Structure 1
Amino acid sequence: MTLLRVAAAQVTAGPNPDANLATATAAVRRAAADEASLVVLPEAVLASFGTDLRAVAEPLDGPFATGLRNVAAELGVVVVAGVFEPSGDGRVHNTLLVTGPGVETSYRKVHLYDAFGSRESDTVAPGKELVTFSFQDVTIGLATCYDLRFADQFTALGRLGAELVVVPASWGAGPGKEEQWDLLTRARAADAQAWLLACDQAYVPPAGTDPLGVGRSSLTTPLGQTSARLGAVADVLHGVVDTDVVAAVRKRVPIL
């Protein structure tokens, strides 16, 4: 049995990467002080949607990523955070940086938010590969926000051995959107037969079609049951991932 202490740091990002880095590092410190080993920050924590993403995008050795890398190393935790990096075609990649002792990887969002009047693909180039990594003997898969609407990605991550899937998000508010978030996080955990830790930006009133956050970060069991959930405001969710639960579910319901 492996037990992994995890946290979702539900924060609000604005347009200024320096201010956002201060917010993010403070949240990581708070989570680590409560003994989390894996700390997940939202999508777009480098800069909120609605910002000129091309202007703020940084390589993964830029100052924002380096700041997160330094605090992760100092505290001995692994941090997952949504950033934007130049894509080389005039757009950016919507990227998850994963960094910490013995871990350094990234995932570029595959499914872009061309829905509800938004056109993420105008400024963001899609990624092409699914990513998993190992930490403290747990296999962890990565997905971002709108990926939640694509069940096959989560089934594939389960088949790749993911026992936990982390999903940073900046989920757009609107009629029924909170209910859809709750439904999809639970369903995708069941599709992967894995724990699912979803970290959204705290609620921000809608501004046009930019997805800014509804809160409701959650930890879901491999059977799709909500283990813990936050409300709308900035906060840190804590939980424990038990890999024996994953093995038991997959043995009882062998859908993968």
Structure 2
Amino acid sequence: MTAATLRIAACQITSVADPAGNLALMESWVRRAADGGARVVVFPEATMAHFGSPLAAVAQPIDGPWATAVSELADAHSVLIAAGMFTPDGDRVRNTVLLSGLGHHTGYHKIHLYDAFGYRESDTVAPGTQPVTVTVDDVVLGVATCYDVRFPALFQQLATSGATAILLPASWGAGPGKAEQWNTLVRARALDSGSWIVGCDQADPKTSDVQVDPGAPTGVGCSLIADPLGGVTAQLAAAPGLIFADVAAAATMQARSATGVLTNRAMF
């Protein structure tokens, strides 16, 4: 692999309500990903504790013990870890993707909250306002979370900020047609941003015998990695699993040149 190619792993797991238990679960998956050559290891949204848990009770700051333990895990394996957690924000929390390792320790706060399909994330979660990118081995990575995938402008903004790939942790809500929507949206965002999209969802809890609130968005599996022309390079079914992609910056340049989606878009 060249300096402009980066191996990224997506770890499709099922979180439980206990942050310590989820941290222990992450250890084995990070080891497997690093052994497979990954420099970036992506976990789902709500890795810290699944939805349906009392989020305010588990929320911790970015410099708190849970995020510090993730940082130590990343350092032990020389990787960047992206994992969903919850951080305090007054009487609500922030839905945060922790980015830790390889000299980074920061977070992206989910901008678009899941007030849809009968669920109201905004009742307990405060929205973020700022897109986030980090650079690993000369490859710029953007970050988005779950419901963000329905909003193309964020992905195009990340692309124009230099992102080659966009990490997309999710805990997708189940329901008729929802898995198909997830697949379509991930591939569409790849096409309309000319970027690799690493969509890492929570595994379907039923495949791990984890009891969850049936009204909460707790994942359907179907994690996938799409290339900048919307092709699926790796995909999982409903159960826990691990997939890899070698993200090539050259592919993004070729795709953006071919489609013209960033150059030709109208600004209203």
TM-score by length of 2: 0.93
- Equivalents in 1 of 2:54, 2:65: separation in Å? 18
Q: Which residue of the partner structure matches residue 41 of structure 2?
A: 39
TM-score by length of 1: 0.97
Q: Which amino acid aligns with 2:12?
A: Q
Q: Which amino acid aligns with 1:156?
A: Q
Alpha-carbon offset, residue 91 of structure 1:
0.3
- Equivalents in 1 of 2:75, 2:171: separation in Å? 26
Alpha-carbon offset, residue 226 of structure 1:
0.7
- Equivalents in 1 of 2:106, 2:193: separation in Å? 21
Q: Which residue of the partner structure matches residue 110 of structure 1?
A: 111
Q: Which residue of the partner structure matches residue 210 of structure 1?
A: 216
Q: Which residue of the partner structure matches residue 54 of structure 1?
A: 56
**Alignment check: 8 A CA contact 1:82 1:97 kept:** yes
Q: Does 1:242 align with 2:248?
A: yes
Q: Which amino acid aligns with 2:252?
A: V
Q: Secondary structure at the match of 2:205?
A: coil
Q: Which residue of the partner structure matches residue 133 of structure 1?
A: 134
Q: Which residue of the partner structure matches residue 14 of structure 2?
A: 12
Q: Secondary structure at the match of 2:9?
A: strand
Q: Which residue of the partner structure matches residue 226 of structure 1?
A: 232
Q: How does 1:161-180 map to 2 (within 5 A)?
A: 161-180=162-181
**Alignment check: 8 A CA contact 2:169 2:199 kept:** yes
- Equivalents in 1 of 2:164, 2:85: separation in Å? 24
Alpha-carbon offset, residue 58 of structure 1:
0.6
Q: Which residue of the partner structure matches residue 27 of structure 1?
A: 29
Q: Does 1:191 align with 2:197?
A: no
**Alignment check: 8 A CA contact 1:103 1:135 kept:** no
Q: Which amino acid aligns with 1:234?
A: P
Q: Which residue of the partner structure matches residue 119 of structure 1?
A: 120
- Equivalents in 1 of 2:63, 2:224: separation in Å? 30
Q: Secondary structure at the match of 1:146?
A: helix
Q: Which amino acid aligns with 2:61?
A: P
Alpha-carbon offset, residue 46 of structure 1:
0.4
- Equivalents in 2 of 1:207, 1:59: separation in Å? 25
- Equivalents in 1 of 2:39, 2:164: separation in Å? 16
Q: Which amino acid aligns with 1:240?
A: D
Moved more, 246-255 or 172-181: 246-255
**Alignment check: 8 A CA contact 2:71 2:105 kept:** no
Alpha-carbon offset, residue 42 of structure 1:
0.4
Please list every run of at least 4 consecutive aligned residues from structure 1 whose deviation after the TM superposition is greater than 4 angstroms: none
- Equivalents in 1 of 2:53, 2:103: separation in Å? 33
- Equivalents in 1 of 2:105, 2:199: separation in Å? 20
Q: Secondary structure at the match of 1:79?
A: strand
- Equivalents in 1 of 2:69, 2:134: separation in Å? 21
- Equivalents in 2 of 1:152, 1:241: separation in Å? 22
Percent identical across equivalent pairs? 47
Alpha-carbon offset, residue 104 of structure 1:
2.3
- Equivalents in 1 of 2:62, 2:103: separation in Å? 17
Segments of structure 2 that go 5 or more residues without pairing to the other structure are 207-211, 263-268
Q: Which amino acid aligns with 2:73?
A: V
Q: What CA RMSD, in Å, does the superposition of the two structures yield over aligned residues?
A: 1.1
How many residues are paired up? 255
- Equivalents in 2 of 1:255, 1:208: separation in Å? 39
- Equivalents in 2 of 1:25, 1:168: separation in Å? 18
Alpha-carbon offset, residue 61 of structure 1:
1.4
Selected match of 1:252 from 213, 234, 258: 258
**Alignment check: 8 A CA contact 1:170 1:213 kept:** yes
